[in-house]
Structure 1
Amino acid sequence: MSSADSHSRQGLQLHQSDQGQKHQGLDVDRLTSQESDCFEQAGTQWRIDSPHQAFDQESMGLSEEHTETELRDFIFNHGRYFDSYLASEPDRDQFWSQGKRGLISYKKWFRHVIIGGGLIAPESHKPQLVQEFLDYAKQNRLSIAFHNIGEADLPLFQEQQFQVTKWGEDPMIDLDTCTWQGKDYEWVRRQTNYCLRQGMTACEVRPDQLHPVHWSDIISEVIEVADESLTRKPQKKAMRFFEGRIDNHALGRRRLFVARNQGRIEGFVICNPILNGTGWATELYRHRLDSVKGTMAFLIHFVLQQLKQEGVERAGLCLDLGRDCHRLPGDSAMVRHGLRFAENYLTSIFDFTGLRHFKSRFRPRYEKRFACVYPKVTIGSILAFVSTTGVLDLHYGRFARILYEQHSKRKLRSNLAAGKTGQSDRNASQQTVSKPSPLRKSA
């Protein structure tokens, strides 16, 4: 039996989530308005009671009959990117290398395979994982497309003659050196101070510390916030595959942070682990339509401060799609020009400008991300991406309203930080976004 045949038979179906899964994390820690005076001079100071425990596992792969908890632990330990942990979701297909030492998470659309989360495996095993999956794809005449691949993994795909195209950049914050002091972080501190004066609080919510009924009530309110936020987007439903879900499986090793005002949840952030918890990504964040101005800046600031005090090395703000997508030798002009067209003319469908401006306020450095496709990008692979993510599944009434609002505010939006010419290092990114114009001022 060939290796590819073996994999075809061994393709695993995800198990239902273990609702009793314990989530390691911090004791719930609240931020009160009494601490607001310390922001302007020295940045926010939040007390952390206990460090977040990182999972440590030997690089030996999983057993044939692994549990859902063991699967989550494997992904936690070896996932490198903001979307790696999404491989634990129950609607994903999985490819395991021999000995279950490496994992690829994907969705299939006809003969096109869309892959998220990168290569989930020990570094030494990644070449074999790429080779085995490529053999499987060739034997079954499949087109395969990896997304959000970083420069560290890129040579593995170049050696196998994948078509490599710049896809965007991932804004990362080095928490060990970030101080939140000085003029660069004035906007963030100002948003936080304003929210504190309005009585906002923030905390991490852990299911293992709550009665199941209380946890269910919190998740129901979080879903309510997410649904309300969706009414400001043109899509009928939340985007799929590259965005996490909170309504169909347990939180697992993800972490949930909420902002409250007078007891009501105003916004939330869900963080995904990166490389054994040495990094975290603010993968999903939403707020109510009538929430206090600056709610998301306030909550993300709280999350980043908490992670910093735990000793976490870095935090990501999730992919900045299309950022600085210059031409590469042999890349896909279809993808490159498509991203440029979407950025210039389809901001009503996906708000490149607004999201980029918001993330730039936290003064991140940028890491390059690539799409790696074999044998090459085609119309079929583009349609597979659109179908898998649901990005063009539009609610046309909301779409028309968003078009009108953006047209009405076109002069104001023209002042937002574009961030198109930055390079993927700290100095260049600071030059690019050193003086972004505010979309609106806090009270």
Structure 2
Amino acid sequence: MTQSQSKPAKPVKPSMESSVKQSVKPLFGFHALLADLAAWLRRHMLTVCFVLAVTFVNVTTRILCAFIRQPFPPRLARVSFEALTRGRWYTAPISMLYVPDLGRLFIDIPLILVAFGLTESVIGKAKTVWVSLITTLGGMALGMGLCSLSDGHSPQWHAISHDGAVLGPLILVAGTLMCASAFTAMLWRRRIRVIGYAVVLIMFLYRGEASDYCLLAAAMIGHVLGYLMSSATHGDEYRHGAVYEMRRLVGVAAGVQAIGSLVAVSSRQSFGLLSTFGLLTGSTDFDTGRVIDCLNGASHTDCFTQYRMMRLTMPGNWLVSIMPTLMLLLIAWGLYRGRHLAATLSIVFNACTIALSTVFYVAIPLSYVDGLDAGAYMDAISALQRHGAFHAMLATMALPLLCIVIIILFRACFTIRTKSETVLRGIAITFAAFVLLGLLYVGYGLSMPSGFNETPLLVDLIADYVQRLLPIGLLSGVEPAFVPVGLLSEIVYQCVGPMFWLVALCCAWGGLRDRSMINDAYRHRVDEIIGLGGESMSFMATWKGNDYWFSATGRSAIAYRVSYGIALTVTGPFGDPDEYEDDLRAFADFCTQRSLTPVFYSVHAEQRDELVSAGWNALDVGTEMVIDPAAWQTRGKKWQDVRTAINKAKRDGITDVLTTFKESPFSVQTQIREISAQWAGEKALPEMGFTLGGVDELVDPRVKLLYAVDADGKVLGVTSWLPTYENGKVVGWTLDFMRHRTDSVNGIMEFLIARMAERLRDEGKVRFMSLSAAPLAGMDGDGMEQSAVLDHVLQMVAHIMEPAYGFHSLFRFKLKFHPDESKVYICYPDAAKLPQISLAVAQAYVPSLTPAEAMRFVRTIMPAKNE
């Protein structure tokens, strides 16, 4: 039977499966969230079962203990050397299922869900089980061993020897999470370890129970185990991060200091090395009569305990103890946002803590000793040593000193400055509050002596006013000169401290919030002017870190940075093109009036000619690559590499997406940050700035983002494009940010640049597409004779920095697209300033170079020298 004679085929009925698929409707809103939660639970059954087991064991036992009137947790849940030597080995695994009280479940359960869930996703269920077993047993052995090395009278020693310690379920999680972090992406690996160690160290330093020793030991063992298991990724280590990432990590570290004091305050047992920094509680009841007896000369062994309890029972003193913690949290937030003021406040605040700890632990007790009696003085020092005053002082000073060192080492990360007017106003208001509240307190004490147990003297009132501003933990060993006995006196006594700290917090908040940034008003004007006109790289003038000069009409401006007495511009003038010629002269006069040397950097030929005709020197510092989108094509042999990249991307299912950073999905934003951090970690020198943008410059909604993504949603490479305006319309786009994964396919950047050119050609709305200029690359040394020194210096810098940044490689890469070449120049008026100009250019590009990075940089270039 031929095909023409065949009967028409009957329609095939859809199968049951296809019918079901067609009837399924996509889920939205709450139902979609429930579906996602159910899917997560199915994928993480090990985590879910463990959480349910911990919850069931603790809740059931707590109910049973309440019914039989026994303490919770039961004795069976406490592990100790005594129990282990008697064969009760089962106390160890049981102890890991219990928490000291049910309230801890609200903290431990979310941590377990996040940490164990992540671990189960990264290394799988089987590895999660045996890694958890290894790290837990090792952590318990090492942690209890560390406790046993301490003095036999320490509370940790008694806990692990006789009383027993509740280990808690977090010990099963900490080491496993640290091990799994070795298998995550570079950015997340660093975040997990920093935040994980921050939580563990808070417990260890400020609470210091035996279980915290085991927790820290388990985390360290897991870290080492992950390093050994992931040997294939050893070459992917972080040398240093991008500025935005480093400032966030420093902010997290500063948050440890703030939260740690709260842990010490809230913990029922504060045995940590730094618990004295926030230790405020005690077990003795406060007795007002006994305090007055002590002040009247009666000798009681618990007088100083009563003094402390007296301060503790006053709500105002509690607020004064909490408000410095709020200030530390506010400073940590400012550090996280990269605020220079937060770095300064952190140094000042921690320096004051160090000074106060010295005064209250040592200086004040020694002030009661007759300084002329050398024997009594030495006896007093020995007494302080015996009673732990020096230990407490050093413990209190340790973390503030470490924070100061960290801030100084990473000071280049905190570049966002606050207006000087805002800073000065905040200082003035804070000082005025200090003086006015002091006058109020002293004046009330002198005018109402009946409100205190004895008539206060002027000196005692002033000294006591200072104490009203300090956390009561620092005043544990200080005898009060008097105590309030009336209601009004107690109100004044307790309110001056909180009022001062409230004013200080408000001033700090005003200086750290976003709208107080330096040049914020100027930047708003810049955003308006940039739309009037500019050159291909003029949009870089809108970036943070620049100062601005505005023309008399306000229709044009110049962005610049000052260092070493040099005002180094970010390209030439922008705004109204009719004013550019006058702007060059006016800006030079502006700098001269302020004893600055103007230097125009990355200007084009037109402005160079104007300056050279006025007697300036000029030297080319790079070559800008410009493409005409209307003429874009990839035909011919010379375009073979670009065509190959485009075809390969299409075959591999790679697509390009044109959007902005804020409009892109959160997963894409995270991957872009990860790619940038990975790129920065491969460099021997820190991430550059000035005319080279980073992730911080991507968030501007005017900047376009073109990224390549595969079929699985993995971002392989990303580019950013800066607009050039003319009368409010975009007339060109300039390439800036250009990063890709180390394991991405070859040709991904060629694909992205070619796709951008195709898009602009098809739109037909812009005149040019600039590939920007590779700094210090493409120089041909055609400057003036007197510029030979600077020419040689810049060429030498370019040669030395090539192994670290690959400027010349970037220059050769851009030649693949056969662009039109346009020189950019540096113009300066005085050849005597060449040393400062060289330093200013280097400082602008690499403002955060540290000695350690310089040594890595030297090691990077050594092979090149040997060759």
Matches within 5 A, 1:325-364: 325-364=780-819
Query: Is this contact kept in 2: 1:253–1:273, CA < 8 A?
Result: yes
CA distance in 2, matches of 1:103, 1:218: 35
Could you tell me which of 642, 651, 654 is aligned with 1:200?
654
Matching residue within 704, 715, 731 for 1:265: 715
Aligned to 1:254: 703
Give the counterpart letter for 1:387 in structure 2: Q
Aligned to 2:99: none
Q: How far does the alpha carbon of each residue in 1:125-148 deviate from its partner, in whole angstroms, 9 at most, with x for none? A: 112211211111111221121111
Residue 404 of structure 1: how far off its partner (Å): 7.4
State whether residues 81 and 148 of structure 1, in contact with CA within 8 Å, keep that contact through their aligned partners in structure 2.
no
| Deviations, residues 79-100 of structure 1 (Å, cap 9, x unaligned) | 2032x11211232111101121
- Are 2:818 and 1:371 equivalent residues in the alignment? no
CA drift at 1:326: 2.6
- Preserved contact between residue 649 and residue 751 of structure 2 (Cα < 8 Å): yes
Aligned match of 2:559 in 73, 80, 105?
105
Worse-superposed segment, 333-342 or 183-192: 333-342
Query: In structure 1, what is the equivalent of residue 645 of structure 2?
Result: 191
Aligned twin of 1:133? 587
SS state at 1:347 partner: helix
Q: Deviations over 1:229-253 (max 9, x none)?
A: 11222212x2111112332673132
Q: Give distance in 2, aligned partners of 1:225 and 1:108.
A: 31
SS at match of 1:259: strand
Contact 1:195 1:293 in 2 (8 A): no
Counterparts in 2 of 1:248 and 1:181: CA distance versus 1, 3 Å: closer
Question: Taking structure 1 as reference, are residues 162 and 313 closer, same or farther at Cα in structure 2, changes over 3 Å only?
Answer: same
Quote how far apart the aligned CAs of 1:397 are.
Answer: 7.4
CA deviations 1:71-118 (Å, max 9, x no partner) are 324214322032x11211232111101121211101111411111131
Deviates more, 1:222-231 or 1:198-207: 198-207
Q: Is the 8 A contact 1:72 1:253 kept in 2?
A: no
2:622 to 144, 165, 168: 168
What is the CA deviation profile of residues 358-411 of structure 1, one whole-angstrom value per residue up to 9, with x for unaligned ones? 111111120111101123342112111111210782735764675478799x8x
Counterpart code for 1:318: S
> For 1:80, what is the secondary structure of its paired residue?
coil
Q: Who is 1:227 aligned against?
A: 677
C-alpha contact 1:232 1:398 (8 A) present in aligned 2: no
Match of 2:631 among 158, 166, 177: 177
> CA contact under 8 A between 1:231 and 1:398: conserved in structure 2?
no
Seen in structure 2, the aligned counterparts of structure 1 residues 388 and 207 have a Cα distance that, compared at 3 Å, is closer
- How far apart, in 2, do the equivalents of 1:126 and 1:81 lie? 15
Show the counterpart of 1:441: none
- Structure 1 Cα separation of the partners of residues 684 and 623 of structure 2: 24
TM-score normalized by the length of structure 1: 0.70
Amino acid at match of 2:741: R
Cα distance in structure 2, aligned partners of 1:113 and 1:220: 36
- Once the two structures are TM-superposed, the CA of residue 349 in structure 1 deviates from its matched residue by 3.0
Q: Deviations over 1:401-438 (max 9, x none)?
A: 75478799x8xxxxxxxxxxxxxxxxxxxxxxxxxxxx
The alpha-carbon deviation at position 203 of structure 1 amounts to: 0.9
Q: Is the 8 A contact 1:78 1:120 kept in 2?
A: yes
Matched, 1:303 2:756: yes
| Secondary structure class of the residue paired with 1:166 | strand
Q: In structure 2, what is the Cα distance between the partners aligned to 1:381 and 1:222?
A: 34
- Alpha carbons 2:534, 2:577 under 8 Å: kept: no
- Please say if residues 698 and 720 of structure 2, whose CA atoms lie closer than 8 Å, have aligned partners that are also in contact: no
> Contact 2:793–2:838 at 8 Å: present in 1 too?
no
Q: Secondary structure of 1:176's match?
A: helix
Is 1:144 matched up with 2:598? yes
Are residues 109 and 345 of structure 1, via their aligned partners in 2, closer, same or farther at CA, if it must alter by over 3 Å? closer
1:331–1:301 Cα change, 3 Å: farther
Q: Residues 72 and 230 from structure 1, CA distance in 2 versus in 1: closer, same or farther, beyond 3 angstroms?
A: same
Distance in structure 1 (CA, Å) of the matches to 2:541 and 2:794: 25
User: How far apart are residue 299 of structure 1 and its match?
Assistant: 1.0
Counterpart position of 2:550: 96
- 3-state DSSP of counterpart to 1:247: helix
Relative distance call for 1:367 and 1:315 in structure 2 (3 A) is: same
In structure 1, give the amino acid aligned to 2:744. Answer: S
**2:836 is the counterpart of 1:380:** yes
- Measured in 1, the distance between the counterparts of 2:581 and 2:683 equals 40
- Counterpart of 2:732, as a letter, is G
Aligned-partner residue type, residue 302 of structure 1:
R
Q: Structure 1's 378 and 76: CA in aligned 2 closer, same or farther, altered over 3 A?
A: same
CA drift at 1:343: 4.5
Tell me if the contact between 1:233 and 1:398 (Cα under 8 Å) persists in the aligned partners. Answer: no
1:393 and 2:853 aligned: no
The structure carrying a bigger strand percent of its residues is 1
Q: Is the alpha carbon distance of 1:249 and 1:365 closer, same or farther for their aligned partners in structure 2, counting shifts above 3 Å? A: closer
Structure whose CA Rg is larger: 2
Aligned length: 343
Equivalent residue runs for 1:431-442 within 5 Å: none
In 2: Cα distance, 1:87 partner to 1:216 partner: 28
Report what 2:691 is aligned to. Answer: 242
* Unmatched runs of 5 consecutive residues or more in structure 2: 1-417, 421-519
2:531–2:725: 8 Å Cα contact kept in structure 1? yes
Is 2:533 the partner of 1:78?
A: yes
**How large is the Cα RMSD of the aligned pairs?**
3.0
Correspondence list, 1:273-312, <5 A: 273-276=723-726, 277-311=730-764, 312=766
Alignment-derived partner of residue 49 in structure 1: none
Once the two structures are superposed, residues 314-344 of structure 1 have per-residue CA deviations (whole angstroms, 9 ceiling, x without a partner) of 1111113331423333551122112333454
Supply the distance in 1 between the matched residues of 2:653 and 2:676 (Cα, whole angstroms).
22
Report the 3-state secondary structure (helix = DSSP H, G, I; strand = E; otherwise coil) of the residue aligned with 2:679: helix
CA–CA separation in structure 2 for the residues paired with 1:270 and 1:248: 9
- Give the aligned residue type for 1:247: D
Query: Following the alignment from structure 1 to structure 2, what is the Cα–Cα distance between the partners of residues 299 and 256?
Result: 10
In structure 2, relative to structure 1, the CA distance for the partners of 1:185 and 1:406 (3 Å cut) is farther
Percent of residue pairs bearing the same amino acid type: 22
Residues 406, 93 of structure 1: alpha-carbon distance in 2 compared, 3 angstrom cutoff: same
CA distances 1:37-65 after superposition (whole Å, capped 9, x unpaired): xxxxxxxxxxxxxxxxxxxxxxxxxxxx9
Q: C-alpha separation between the residues in 1 aligned to 2:607 and 2:628?
A: 21
- Contact 2:676–2:695, Cα closer than 8 Å, also in 1: no
Contact 1:13–1:94, Cα closer than 8 Å, also in 2: no
Contact 1:272 / 1:282 at 8 angstroms: preserved in 2?
yes
Task: Indicate conservation of the 8 Å contact 1:235/1:391, yes or no.
Answer: no
What letter is aligned with 1:354? S
Tell me how far apart the structure 1 counterparts of residues 524 and 762 of structure 2 sit (CA, whole Å): 27
1:258/1:69 CA distance change after superposition, 3 Å: farther
Shifted more, 126-135 versus 159-168: the winner is 159-168
| Alignment TM-score, normalising by the size of structure 2 | 0.37
